[in-house]
Amino acid sequence: MSRSHTPDGRPLYLSSPFIFGCIVAVIIPPLSLYIFSQTHGYDISDAGAYGELIRFLNIRLLSASVIVNVGLFFLGLKFDKELFSRGILYGTVFIFVIILFYKYAL
């Protein structure tokens, strides 16, 4: 078997742990941004005078919340959950692409 297939022969991206890891990695940063904005009382979509400051803060919070994904990645490796860890890694890369797009393209 090649490294892009699971032990039972399915492609890597169709395995349940990989998909679950991707979903977890993509959900955690926006969820932490939402929770932080609700507990600290600011509107994450403010486009007024503070729009640029809010955008800067959102980028910083999203980037910092990726640390949780890193912790989950290493925890998955510690407990020999390689497919889950790969899903976390791929989901985190996807989040970094979204953060870069949000920072430079918008």
Alpha helices in 41-81 (DSSP H): 51-78
pLDDT per residue as tens digits for the range 50-67: 777 778 888 888 888 889
Quick one: pLDDT at residue 57? Answer: 82
Question: pLDDT-derived band of residue 77, with 50, 70 and 90 as boundaries?
Answer: very high
Neighbours of 104 (CB within 10 A): 8
pLDDT per residue as tens digits for the range 2-49: 567 777 777 877 888 899 999 999 999 989 888 888 887 777 776 676
* Of residues 65, 68, 54, the one with CA closest to residue 30: 65
Looking at residues 63-84, what average pLDDT do you find?
Answer: 91
